[in-house]
Homo-oligomer: A and B are copies of this chain.
Amino acid sequence: MKAILKNVLPVCAGTVLGSLSLAASAFDILPDRAPAPADNPTTPAKVSLGKQLYFDQRLSVNGTVSCNSCHSVMANGTDNRPVSVGVFDKRGGRSAPTVWNAAFLSVQFWDGRAASLEDQAKGPILAGVEMGMPSEAAVVERLKQIPGYVSQFQAVFGGEDALTYDNVARAIAAFERTLITPNAAVDRFLKGDKSALSASAQRGMKLVEKIGCTSCHTGPNYAGPAGLPVGQGFFQKFPVYPSKYDKQYDLKSDKGRYEVTHDDADKHLWRVPTWRNVALTAPYFHNGSVQTLDEAVRVMAKSQLDVSLSDAEVADIVAFLNGLSGEFPEITLPRLPETPNVTLLKK
């Protein structure tokens, strides 16, 4: 363990890990339900409203992009692209993280700039390279022209002014809290079904603990320690050890959390991404520069732990990571509320 700690502890500098202790076991089972903040309890009507908003392209300026366009819940919660395509064919600089199990992340966005799903949901709708709406007021004004939304916001949130941008975000977040993929092979293995993982996957499971991957990829979402409160970020430096990969995959141009805080201590710090469904969410890293999971495993071992893995070790770890692909619940398509006799989209 000393070798591991040598590798890991230095990169905890600059994190907000503080006094939290790492879980006793590196491996955890995914809960069936995600905790909700006190001011936004999860209710069926709110989830239904949030699902409609999540799939509604009218939340983008020209009616072409919904949350689901880049975070497809029909697939792995991403678009499998290096970076997503927003309105007017615009591109951002970072790869779309999966929405599945995002409720269990300590903070949202690659740089952790949103403390909650509610905060996160407010960003892309207004981002010029994503959904491109000009202002919160413009979003509210458009939704107020859709009778089926007006009535649902009133029923779900009540009060005189139920259709607000904050409530749009609350509804979307409530829907996202239902996007959980339980019963992955690793979960079944941890519950006692020793046949759930192949021998190779079980070797990989031991290996990721032995070389130190699970110092960060731990907890129920394999993205930080268990019990880390939502909103309290778990950040790590990437890359730690210089390697050929820095240039090959352009790993250092984007300075991560520093781009938000402009604090030198935050340079190249990133929120630790989940391992849940990681086999399904290629390409990899903040810039989507690595196309296969095998290569992502090689890059991480070298960049974070200064370990060069053999092909057999990579195969074992990849087999283990495939064991974190969960069961995707069946979801009905929402019916998006209409604007009879008229369109809101004029060009």
| Interface residue ranges, A against B (CB under 8 Å) | 55, 57-58, 62-64, 69, 72-76, 79-82, 85, 88-89, 279-280, 282-283, 291-294, 318, 322, 325, 328, 330-336, 338-347
Given A81-B62, A338-B280, A343 and B74 contact (CB-CB distance below 8 Å):
no
* CB neighbours of A335 from chain B (8 A): 74-75, 328
Closest Cβ of chain B to A301, distance in Å, is 16
Whether the pair A340, B63 counts as a contact (CB closer than 8 A) is no
Whether the pair A79, B64 counts as a contact (CB closer than 8 A) is yes
Select A339's contact among B69, B282, B332, B336, beta carbons within 8 Å. B282
Whether the pair B81, A282 counts as a contact (CB closer than 8 A) is no
A280 to B339, CA, bound (A): 7
* CB neighbours of A283 from chain B (8 A): 343, 345
* Oligomeric state, in copies: 2
Whether the pair A336, B85 counts as a contact (CB closer than 8 A) is no
Whether the pair B345, A81 counts as a contact (CB closer than 8 A) is yes
* CB neighbours of A62 from chain B (8 A): 81, 85
Closest Cβ of chain B to A347, distance in Å, is 7
Select A291's contact among B330, B338, B342, beta carbons within 8 Å. B342
* CB neighbours of A79 from chain B (8 A): 57, 63-64, 345
A334 to B330, CA, bound (A): 8
Select A333's contact among B64, B333, B342, B346, beta carbons within 8 Å. B333
* CB neighbours of A333 from chain B (8 A): 73-74, 330-333
* CB neighbours of A331 from chain B (8 A): 332-333
Whether the pair B325, A340 counts as a contact (CB closer than 8 A) is yes
Given A75-B335, A279-B340: 15 more A-B contacts, CB < 8 Å: A55-B74, A58-B80, A64-B69, A64-B81, A74-B334, A75-B338, A80-B343, A81-B345, A279-B341, A283-B345, A293-B340, A318-B341, A322-B341, A328-B335, A333-B333
